[in-house]
Structure 1
Amino acid sequence: MTIHFVVHDEGDSVGVVVVEGLTAGTPLTGWIMDQDKMIEFQARNDIPIGHKLAIRSIAKGDTIIKYGIDIGRAVADIGAGEHAHVHNVKTKRW
């Protein structure tokens, strides 16, 4: 079985893609490390390796959690399996 993305804790809202060439429509398998648990859903966008993807629906204004840390807020709704990057996630610093 291929692991497509990793998540630190099931409380996180995003995971990190760990394979090259992930395209929209790809069935995804992710590993939640702290709980040693697998999750599955479908990629809704092409997502480059090392980039974030939403592992649950995130509403505009919600805090984004990665590795148990607040990394910013959603500036648009983000569906599970969608690319979470600078076009829909912004820091809270500015």
Structure 2
Amino acid sequence: MTTAFRIHPDDNVATLLGDADDTVTVIGEGEIALNQAIALGHKVAMADIAQGDAVVKFGIPIGRAGAAIRRGDWVHLHNCASRFDERSGAFDVVTGAGKDMAYD
């Protein structure tokens, strides 16, 4: 089974240490059933996060939920707007490439 870790006790997300498609074990905290497949290094919601609420990692808000996020959801560009990069909503969810720029 794939594991994940919560960096800070106040975090509402955990980071996966491998690809997973059904369940992850958060080190020292138990299992979370995933609502979709999540890749290595990506975040899973540890609890429900209401639209507009802070997404917390490292003990600090890293963004705001752009939509309601359920426990077990993949937390990424499609449902979290970055507090650090105002262009985050224009990035491709899979590749991270900017969709608002033409690359020649």
TM bucket (normalised to shorter chain) is: 0.7 to 0.9
Q: Which residue of 2 aligns with 1:8?
A: 7
5+ residue gaps, structure 1: 32-36
Q: Is the 8 A contact 2:2 2:23 kept in 1?
A: no
| Structure with more of its chain in strand, by fraction | 1
One-letter amino acid of the structure 2 residue matched with residue 45 of structure 1 = Q
Residues of 1 paired with 2:15 and 2:54: CA distance?
Answer: 17
Provide TM-score, normalisation by structure 1: 0.81
Pairwise mapping of residues 28-47 of structure 1 onto structure 2 (< 5 A)? 28-31=24-27, 37-47=28-38
One-letter amino acid of the structure 2 residue matched with residue 6 of structure 1 = F
C-alpha displacement at 1:67, in angstroms? 1.4
The Cα RMSD (Å) is 1.4
Larger Rg: 2
Q: Is the 8 A contact 2:47 2:72 kept in 1?
A: yes
Which of structures 1 and 2 has the larger relative contact order (alpha carbons within 8 angstroms, sep 6+)? 1
Task: Name which of 43, 63, 66 aligns with 2:57.
Answer: 66
Residues of 2 paired with 1:58 and 1:51: CA distance?
Answer: 17
Residues of 1 paired with 2:35 and 2:3: CA distance?
Answer: 14
The answer on 1:49 being equivalent to 2:48 is no
Residues of 2 paired with 1:72 and 1:27: CA distance?
Answer: 25
Aligned length: 85
Provide TM-score, normalisation by structure 2: 0.74
Q: Which residue of 1 aligns with 2:67?
A: 76
5+ residue gaps, structure 2: 87-104
